[in-house]
Amino acid sequence: MIFPGGDAAVITLQNRCTAPIWPGSLAEPGYPELIGDGAALNPGQTIKVTAPAGWFGMVWARTGCSLDQAGGMNCSTGNCDGGIEECGPATDGPPPATFADFMLDEQFDSYAISLLAGFNIPVSIVPSGGSGDCKPVTCLTDLNLHCPGKLQVKRNGQVVACKNACMAFNQPEYCCTGTYDNPNTCKPSSYSKFFKDSCPSAYTYAYDDPTSTFTCKGADYLISFC
């Protein structure tokens, strides 16, 4: 696969949580996976991965994971489709999870924190060494503490994640589908406003582009969890 021009970006993943996390990545078809071994990232640890020019995909953290005797990975949040250890193009997205989205391009990189699949832990993206706007993007509020009841995901009585309204209700007005599939009819809901009020720079519903997509040219990126 040949990717568009430009340099590769180094993406550093940092665990600032008090418990281990298991980073995962999911690329669009035709793009390589950045993280393939399902290894834990302990509190205070960092790892570096290299994304080739043209890479288009997402990075997130799985929490509360354990391996079973058959080699499957069971996580409280962010589990890959089928409970497998290595996420890949054959797997579905792992909602609810807080995604760091990237589209690396020759002209400029586009990046965002997406809550379209809900929220599991706080995330920030900080670019370095690039030119242009290159603004840090953060969602540092723990939305699980105030998640509306109908959006809550609980494990052993504790809220571990917060669903997006589209996931929770599967209705066109929340998913921006059918007659709502345009910015004139699909407006923020009370649920997406909860996400937006808590994390103003995060992407909270399908037409949230103006305040939630950021650009930079030729940067490396630090993704911090918690």
Query: Which one is predicted more confidently, 122 or 31?
Result: 122
Rounded to the nearest 10 degrees, how much is the dihedral formed by the CA atoms of 94, 136, 31, 203? 50
Query: Which one is predicted more confidently, 92 or 134?
Result: 134
Sign of the CA dihedral 64, 193, 141, 47? positive
CA atoms within 13 A on the CB side of 139: 30
Tell me the pTM: 0.88
Give the residue carrying structure tokens 């949230």: 208
Sequence spans of domains, the chain: 9-142+200-225
127 pLDDT above the threshold of 80: yes
In the structure, what pLDDT confidence band is assigned to residue 38 with cuts at 50, 70 and 90?
Answer: low
Average pLDDT (88-115) is 80
In angstroms, rounded to a whole number, what is the distance separating the alpha carbons of residues 78 and 98? Answer: 8
Beta pairing partners, 65: none
Q: Are the C-beta atoms of 214 and 2 separated by less than 8 Å?
A: no
Give the residue carrying structure tokens 């509190």: 43
pLDDT at 107: 80
CATH superfamily, domain at 9-142+200-225: Thaumatin (2.60.110.10)
CB atoms within 10 A of CB 38: 18
pLDDT tens for each residue of 180-223: 999 899 999 999 999 999 999 999 988 887 778 899 998 999 99
* Size of the chain, expressed as the number of residues it contains: 226
